[in-house]
Structure 1
Amino acid sequence: MNLQHADVRRILELLDTAEHLDSLDLRIGDVVLQARKPGAAPMSALPVEALAPTTATAAPAPSVTPEPAPTAAPVTVRSPALSEVPDRMIAIRAPMPGTFFRTPAPTQPPFVEEGQQIEASATLCLIEVMKMFNSVGAPAAGRVHSILVEHGQAVEHEQILMIVDPTEAEAAA
């Protein structure tokens, strides 16, 4: 049995609408699908590559080159090493590989700017994978210390996207 794009979309729609289901691990033949809702507990510690047979082949996904939003403020790209995240600050990481978007749409302003106060669970950005947009939320209230990725840039799983200073929220309270 082959898993088609329409099948994947339907499975993801079911996950999205299911009230008591936060994540899904599915294997059909050589295809492995792992999906989770934002805020759900992390999935298995095994990467997808470890679950899938080495002989599996998949058709390459079509390449989509997003246009940067004209209203998005330019941000200098900085890639600090893990040890460079300042003490007591929170690294916001990409939950999956994809394309990073600062805005909800090309003509709309960015979700957040550097220096902006944020609330816990506030949407910080979007990660687009196969034309599905996944929001990345703030794990805690605080202040956006820095944005490390440019709008429209490809990101890797666990790449640091932003750094949030939660002590700024405590000081404001």
Structure 2
Amino acid sequence: MSLTHSDVTRILELLDRAAELDSLEVRLGDFVVQASKSGAVAQDSAAVFRPAAPAAMQATPNAAPAAASPAEAAVQIPEGMVAIRAPMVGTFYSSPRPGEPLFVEEGGVVEADTTVCLVEVMKMFNSVESTTRGIVHKILVRNGELVQHNQVLMLIAPLPA
């Protein structure tokens, strides 16, 4: 039995939400997932995914779970705005690849189902789409920034159909 991307994402989300846990280790056959919250372990706060065999190499992904900052918790959604939220814990990317044009810019018009950014978890890039036709009012995160599950990424001012 092996872990899927969804399984690992769910494990990281559970750790992120559990106030009483600072770290965890999940063993499934020869596969081990170790994760800790920022500041919980002095050496490295990133999640480590490795086979249980000692000779295997370790890999550390870019995304690490972290507690939501007060700024993220205080985001107020103005009346009439639509919030585009992170579907999972991961790294926010504003363009498909470095050096390529941005998916959207503040003031730009988006259609419903338009890709507005990517959220990367463990080298898997997940498209985030606009849920409405409108104007990008505000982008609240920077390219390469870690985001939390359900964090508001941007605000869209809906346009009439």
TM-score (norm 2): 0.62
Contact 2:138 2:156 in 1 (8 A): yes
Aligned-pair CA distance for 1:56: 3.5
1:98–1:107 CA distance, 2 compared to 1 (3 A): same
1:156–1:141 CA distance, 2 compared to 1 (3 A): same
- Aligned-residue sequence identity (percent) comes to 42
Residue of structure 1 aligned with 2:74, choices 78, 81, 99: 81
Question: AA paired with 1:148?
Answer: L
Q: 1 CA distance for matches of 2:140 and 2:77?
A: 11
Aligned-pair CA distance for 1:81: 2.1
C-alpha RMSD of matched pairs (Å) = 2.9
Taking the TM superposition and a 5 Å limit, the aligned residue runs for 1:143-162 are 143-162=135-154
Taking the TM superposition and a 5 Å limit, the aligned residue runs for 1:1-173 are 1=1, 3=2, 8=4, 32=7, 48=14, 56=26, 58-59=33-34, 60-61=48-49, 62-64=59-61, 79=72, 81-82=74-75, 84-166=76-158, 169-170=159-160
1:63–1:104 CA distance, 2 compared to 1 (3 A): same
SS at 1:91 equivalent: strand
Aligned-pair CA distance for 1:34: 6.5
Contact 1:79 1:148 in 2 (8 A): no
1:131–1:117 CA distance, 2 compared to 1 (3 A): same
Unaligned segments of structure 1, at least 5 residues? 13-24, 26-31, 36-46, 67-77
1:109–1:81 CA distance, 2 compared to 1 (3 A): same
SS at 1:150 equivalent: coil
Specify which structure has the higher proportion of strand: 2
Contact 1:96 1:156 in 2 (8 A): yes
